[in-house]
Amino acid sequence: MRRIVVLGVLVAVAPFAALSAEEGVAPEVFASRDPNLPETIRYAEAVRVGDMLYLSGVTGTPVARDAGDEALIANFVSIFEEVEARLARAGATFDNVVTVETYRLDYLKTFPLFNEVKNRYIKAPYPTWTDIGVGELPPGAVAELTVTAWLGGARREAE
C-alpha cells in the first residue's frame, strides 16, 4: 500500500517538475482565501503551471452525513459554485476543465443527486471523470470535488 501512495505522489508531482525544468515555468500559487482555515492546515486552492491549472479538493458548505436529498443537493451546488469561483480567479470556466475527480460518501444514494448537479455545470464535450465512493471525508463533508483545467482554451470534440 505504501508503494502505491508514493507512486501517486510521484505521478502528481511529475507534471510540475517536467514543465518547470523543460520550459522554465514557475508555478503560480493561488493561496487559500478561507479566514477560518487553521494555521496547521496549509494548502493552495489552485496552482497554475503553464497552461495547466490544478485545483485542490472542495467540500462545500457543511452538511450532515445523513442529510436528506434537498440538503445534499444544496451541498453539491455549493461545491460546484466554489470550484467555479476558483476557476474564475485563474481566468477559467468549466469549459476549460479536462479532468474531474469526485469522492463521495454513501456512493449509491448520492450518485443520482450529484450527477444531476454536475450536469448543470459540465457540458459536452465532456472532460474525463473519476467518481469514487469513500468511507471517510473531512467533518461536515459528504463529497469532495477536484478538477484540472487547461487554460489554453475550451475543450473540443475529437475528430
Rounded percentage of the chain residues whose pLDDT exceeds 70: 77
Give dist(CA 88, CA 68) in Å, integer: 30
Q: Is the pLDDT of residue 42 over 90?
A: no
Mean pLDDT of the chain: 84
Tell me the CA end-to-end span of the chain in Å, nearest whole number.
Answer: 40
Enumerate residues 6+ apart whose C-beta is below 8 A from 152: 51
Domains of the chain with CATH codes: 2-150 (3.30.1330.40)
**Is the model's pLDDT at 3 over the cut of 90?**
no
Distance, in Å, from the CA atom of 158 to the CA atom of 154, rounded to the nearest integer, reads 12
Digit-coded pLDDT (tens) for 108-130:
999 999 999 999 999 999 999 99
Q: Whole-angstrom Cα distance, residue 74 to residue 132?
A: 20
Instruction: Tell me what pLDDT residue 155 has.
Output: 84
Q: Are 30 and 90 in contact (CB under 8 A)?
A: yes
Higher pLDDT, 14 or 32: 32
Task: Over range 52-68, report the average pLDDT.
Answer: 94
Average confidence (pLDDT) over 28-35: 67
Give the pLDDT confidence score for residue 1 in this predicted structure.
42
Cβ-contact 122, 150 below 8 angstroms: no
**Residue 115, Ramachandran bin (φ over 0: left; ψ between -120 and 50: alpha; else beta):** alpha
Query: CB of 80 within 8 A of CB of 145?
Result: yes
